[in-house]
Amino acid sequence: MADAAPLSREDLIGAMAKGAKPKAEWRIGAEHEKFGFDRATLRRPAYDGESGILAMLTGLQRFGWSPVEEAGHVIALERKNDEGMTASISLEPGGQFELSGAPLKDVHDICDETGRHLMEVKQVADQINLGFIGAGFDPLWRREDVPIMPKGRYGIMRAYMPKKGSLGLDMMLRTCTIQSNLDFADGPPVRVASRYRCQATALFACSPFIEGKPSGFLSSRANVWTDTDPDRTGMLDFVFEDGFGYERYADYALDVPMYFAKRGETYVDLSGQSFRAFMTEGLDALPGERATKKDWNDHLTTLFPEVRLKSYLEMRGADGGPWSRICALQALWAGVLYDGAALAAAWDLVKDWDIGDHERLRRDVTRLGLKAEVAGRSVRDVAVDMVHIAREGLKNRARFSGGMVDERGYLSELEDIADSGVTPAERLLELYHGEWQGDVTRMYRDFAY
């Protein structure tokens, strides 16, 4: 098998570079996670049981989803759209329910896909007394209250995470995010994307509660990432350097300790070991074997920098939220990164920021949101500029739905947030201290899907 041939550094670089494609072929892929809860008790659902995650996965198959099994457990679903593009529903370690959407042509299609998914989820969930809520961090339950899903890779990660940081298990079990996956041409715009990631975090901040009380953070989810695993998270210093490219990212990835290699349905624990050694010398846990291209692709999925590069670019850093903000994140990043004039304007505003500016901002934005400052400006002011640039980029893209409405409408909520300087998290805190009278459980009633 060609995939089993010895790997070279050029192979690793090529696995990412092959993602480059002409602009006419660029797509957008949306991912979003949400917390399930039992409507009677508000507890997170276990895998098994009449109101469990397996029951959700089984019920959704009536809509044409096909099951994906691992070791006898259904752990995901897949479905092709009319163009043959595949979407999937998968499980995070604590049962967070994730839609990884198909790569689609525009934000209109993303919103249609997301709306259909949420409608299907609600139909099944209503029948088994479950609800779902979009937020960046579980607002109520402790780490030990969260059921664990039967996926092999998660067992390895749960054992390894506490060795590297104090909040890694919270990341696995108590966080939800929205993500935008984008294509690129000659080279991915990582330098621009990385500098705006914290503005996106502030605009989407929606996780001010931990275990029923205000946490002191507007994005408790983003704070978790500051103490998860320094080897594979955070800002990559080298993206601020001239000449950044696939080669430099490949060298970084080679130096990130591994989690596992998958052989058949078995995840082999390789936590903490070197991919370089796996590629050149082999590892004791897999005698006689060398790393394959699939191992490399799997390894890339275990890296969690602010902006992740695979054969496409993953824009991370937004808290989970409602349907409108799932659409809005796609519009924001497509507007900034998919139009040449918008990309140039975005770069001009932030090109003088250094790594120190960004590292300070990464921590400040978790607590202060749009009130944080960077390079002498408030995050609110930068966010206003970012949303304006995205609006112009979407105008230039001129992708219409029904012949009349382009993608700019999906930015309306973000424009309101940026102009007001008030994050979704601060709106939740206003409710908590006012109408809710300190009762976080109201969030499950007022903001469930």
Share of the chain above pLDDT 90, in %: 91
Computed on alpha carbons and rounded to an integer, the radius of gyration of the chain in Å comes to: 21
Mean pLDDT of the 415-433 span: 98
Phi-psi region of 297 (alpha: psi -120 to 50; beta: other; left: phi over 0): alpha
- Cα dihedral value 61, 78, 91, 363, nearest 10: -140
Mean pLDDT of the 54-69 span: 98
Among the listed residues 448, 244, 259, 209, the one whose alpha carbon sits nearest the alpha carbon of residue 355: 244
- Torsions phi, psi for 137 (to 5 deg): -140, 140
What is the model's pLDDT at position 134?
97
> Which residues fall within 8 angstroms of residue 160, CB to CB, at 6 or more apart?
259, 271, 272
Full DSSP string of 407-444: GGGGGHHHHHHHHHT--HHHHHHHHHHTTTTT-TTHHH
Let me know the angle formed at the C-alpha of 99 by 209 and 260, rounded to the nearest 5 degrees. 90
The token pair that represents 173 in the structure block: 């079990």
Mean pLDDT (the chain) is 95
Residue that the structure tokens 């890339």 belong to: 300
The answer to whether the CB of 234 falls within 8 A of the CB of 4 is: no
**H-run or E-run covering 29:** strand 28-38
> Which residues fall within 8 angstroms of residue 383, CB to CB, at 6 or more apart?
199, 202, 203, 370, 414, 417, 418
The token pair that represents 38 in the structure block: 């039992």
Higher pLDDT, 354 or 219: 219
> Which residues fall within 8 angstroms of residue 277, CB to CB, at 6 or more apart?
283
Among the listed residues 239, 231, 252, the one whose alpha carbon sits nearest the alpha carbon of residue 188: 239
The answer to whether the CB of 335 falls within 8 A of the CB of 390 is: yes
Whether 177 has a pLDDT exceeding 90, the answer reads yes
What is the model's pLDDT at position 4?
55
The answer to whether the CB of 200 falls within 8 A of the CB of 329 is: yes
Strand partners, 104: 28
What is the model's pLDDT at position 244?
87
Give the three-class secondary structure for 373.
strand
Mean pLDDT of the 235-258 span: 91
What is the model's pLDDT at position 251?
94
Alpha helical stretches, state H, 61-161: 107-127, 152-160
Mean pLDDT of the 152-175 span: 97
With bands split at pLDDT 50, 70 and 90, how would you rate the model's confidence at 6? confident
Share of the chain above pLDDT 70, in %: 99
Give the three-class secondary structure for 303.
coil
d(CA 94, CA 144): 10
What is the model's pLDDT at position 5?
64
What is the model's pLDDT at position 2?
39
The answer to whether the CB of 133 falls within 8 A of the CB of 35 is: yes
Whether 148 has a pLDDT exceeding 90, the answer reads yes
Kindly report the number of other CB atoms within 10 A of residue 243's CB atom.
Answer: 7
What is the model's pLDDT at position 186?
82
d(CA 268, CA 313): 27
d(CA 200, CA 310): 21
What is the model's pLDDT at position 1?
35
Mean pLDDT of the 88-114 span: 98
What is the model's pLDDT at position 402?
78
Whether 443 has a pLDDT exceeding 90, the answer reads yes
Among the listed residues 230, 224, 51, the one whose alpha carbon sits nearest the alpha carbon of residue 138: 224
Full DSSP string of 148-198: ----HHHHHHHHHGGGT-SSHHHHHHHB-EEEEEE--SSS--HHHHHHHHH
